[in-house]
Structure 1
């Protein structure tokens, strides 16, 4: 275990492993952080770098949620203006309710989780809410479809050639949609496209490592931090090793 993610520190520790053993590493999954790529290239000279698909998809989902949050702030501002207007006229403010009994503000807040899921996994209430959401905010529907399309590419493409063609078509859809945050992600993917395409060789991800990391964080949170690091590592080894 290495403290921190500073490239020089991690490389120094990894170089203690004999070169012969390091050469046996053929593939490493990682995110798009520059220091991670440097660590792998310096430490494992025979390894292929694979950008984890879930890091790419998370960026796209974050961009989708950014659009939702922007609309939510606008709805909050509009509601505040309406309340102040009503107060100035000495009348009672009554918020407008949508067909599912949500206000616009509630609709945008309660739509957060349904945007993470494919429509096939929506509950009945989420399906109704999604119809109303997309009627009021067609840009959210367009962004949602971009996210789902990218997920479909990763789930259903079997080789690099097909992946390259499909990702290029997805990139064109992003350009046509003209969402700033999606365009930024598209540029980032273009820079790292070769390592992203490497995923389609063996479909490798670091999902298990991310899951284990989440368990460690949850375990640490139960104790509101760690004072005795050695004992904490002992407990981890006892429970998870």
Structure 2
């Protein structure tokens, strides 16, 4: 949850998760159940269920992953959590959700999730009448990951080229002088430092990020094309969600 928001809104994901746990979720007000084992593994809140849910995994403390089902209509405020389950095991999550009466689960019309097979299985078994909708943030994340994969491949190529040039200079008994670009970066430095520009939309670039992005696009047209496609996907998602 925090990781997705961090990528797309330039916020501190760790801080958001702490605030969510300590203030928004009501976590500290939860009472222990009679079954201590279940209290440690999951909590369900049937009273918070609604027709439009969201399911995702996040890390709340000490690196432990939790699967969280929330009521989208609560917009992350108090009483938004329908279930929180320690871990991501599909069978465990399904068992926890089935503690909610089927009559209530069958009122769910739509559930938003990511692309993982386990999440689809959980939704199919726990909310059989709900339509499953892929979270747009996960789709955008895949597009951004694809852009970064192109950048990383070019960086490996640059590292290999520089290594070969160093070896050649050594064999020829001359000093190797690394070539620097107009902003002072070497090519492999540009490809490493340019990663931050590729995560952001152009209007959020700093001056140095803009310079690096334009240099990368000039050197690698495939990287420019992939970036523009990812930004177009983001813009289309905004139009669908906000109607702008």
Q: Distance in 2 between matches of 1:158 and 1:60?
A: 18
Q: Deviations over 1:80-136 (max 9, x none)?
A: 111111111211111111111111111100100100111111111111111211111
**What residue is the counterpart of 1:142 in the other structure?**
225
Distance 2:241 2:122 in 1: 29
Q: 1:18 to 1:157 in 2, by over 3 A?
A: closer
**Partner residue in 1 for 2:166:** 83
Q: Distance in 2 between matches of 1:123 and 1:39?
A: 42
Give the C-alpha shift of residue 158 in structure 1: 5.5
Residue 101 (structure 1) aligns with: 184
Distance 1:33 1:105 in 2: 34
121, 125, 128: which is aligned to 1:42? 125
Give ranges in structure 2 of 5+ residues lacking alignment. Answer: 1-41, 43-84
What is the CA–CA distance in structure 1 between the aligned matches of 2:219 and 2:174, rounded to whole Å?
A: 27
Distance 1:19 1:106 in 2: 56
- Secondary structure at 1:157 match in 2: helix
SS of the residue corresponding to residue 108 of structure 1 reads helix
Query: Which consecutive segments of 4 or more residues in structure 1 shift more than 3 A?
Result: none
* Number of residue-to-residue matches in the alignment: 160
1:92 is the counterpart of 2:162 = no
Q: What TM-score comes out, normalization by structure 2 length?
A: 0.62
Greater share of residues in helix: 1
Q: How many angstroms apart in 2 are the aligned matches of 1:35 and 1:57? A: 20
Q: Distance in 1 between matches of 2:180 and 2:108?
A: 59
Q: Aligned partners of 1:126 and 1:13: how far apart in 2?
A: 46
Equivalent residue number for residue 206 of structure 1: none
Identify which of structures 1 and 2 has the higher relative contact order when contacts are C-alpha pairs closer than 8 Å and 6+ apart: 1
Alignment of structure 1 residues 24-63 onto 2, 5 Å: 24-63=107-146
Equivalent in the alignment of 1:65: 148
* Matched residue SS, 2:176: coil
Q: Which structure has greater strand proportion?
A: 2
1:39-85 CA-to-partner distances (Å, cap 9, x unmatched) read 11221233221211111111111111111000001100111111111
Q: Report 1:108-147 matches (<5 A).
A: 108-147=191-230
TM, length-normalised to structure 1: 0.62
**Equivalent residue in structure 1 for 2:237, among 154, 175, 179:** 154
